[in-house]
């Protein structure tokens, strides 16, 4: 599998894992403190070939996504479920711990960042679905992120991601139907 876009990852171990799974070029952010020169590289990559942001499914990874989203609009995003990114010794979370198949699947299910569309899923929809507050809210958000292939988000971030990736009300409702169905099994 060859990927045209340049994949933005956090570090050298992630690059090794990506290159083990597919044929692609990477830019490493070297952590969540992204330098201005790295942002410039990402801008150039986005202009020339396109960019896929493939950050770890944790807080620093989400911080990297946010910084890139603000400074380099229009990038695509790949998400890896946290359970597929946990080290064998349970002492780390990252792309470098994922299987080749998990990496390929995440890159196959890339989501495009599109900002210029009216809001489809409302904040009230999130409340009505039990995704904000309540005993099962976190577990529901986690499962929804996996089903929609947008990664885990807290309540506030979830609404932003649904807008950013233009998740339709229908996609949202179908995924929530599955979440509720799984809860009742």
**Tens-binned pLDDT, residue by residue, of the chain (185 aa):** 789 999 999 999 999 999 999 999 999 998 878 999 999 999 999 999 999 999 998 889 989 998 998 999 889 999 998 888 888 787 788 999 999 999 999 999 888 765 555 557 888 899 999 999 888 999 999 999 999 988 888 888 898 888 878 888 888 999 999 999 998 88
pLDDT value for 102: 93
The C-alpha atoms of residue 15 and residue 94 are separated, in whole angstroms, by 11
Question: Tokens in use for 30?
Answer: 């070297």
| Cα of 131 vs its chain's centroid, Å | 18
Q: Please tell me what DSSP assigns to residue 95.
A: G
pLDDT value for 115: 54
20 in helix, strand or coil? helix
70-104 burial, b at 16+ Cβ within 10 Å, e below that, comes to eebeebbbbbbbbebbbeeeeeebbbbbbeeebbb
In contact, 95 and 14? CB cutoff 8 Å: yes
Domains of the chain: 6-112 (3.40.50.140), 123-183 (no CATH)
């Amino acid at each position: 599998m060859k990927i045209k876009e340049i994949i933005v990852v956090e570090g050298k171990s992630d690059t090794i894992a990506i290159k083990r799974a597919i044929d692609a070029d990477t830019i490493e952010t070297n952590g969540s403190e992204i330098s201005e020169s790295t942002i410039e590289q990402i801008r150039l990559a986005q202009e020339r070939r396109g960019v896929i942001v493939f950050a770890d499914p944790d807080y620093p990874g989400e911080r990297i996504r946010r910084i890139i989203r603000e400074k380099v609009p229009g990038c695509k995003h790949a998400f890896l479920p946290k359970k597929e990114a946990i080290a064998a010794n349970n002492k780390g979370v990252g792309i470098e711990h994922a299987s080749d198949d998990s990496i390929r699947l995440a890159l196959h299910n890339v989501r495009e960042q599109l900002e210029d569309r009216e809001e489809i899923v409302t904040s009230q929809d999130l409340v009505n679905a039990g995704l904000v507050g309540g005993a099962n809210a976190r577990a529901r958000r986690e499962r929804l992120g996996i089903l929609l292939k947008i990664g885990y988000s807290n309540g506030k971030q979830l609404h932003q991601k649904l807008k950013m990736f233009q998740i339709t009300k229908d996609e949202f409702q179908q995924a929530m139907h599955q979440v509720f169905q799984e809860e009742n099994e």
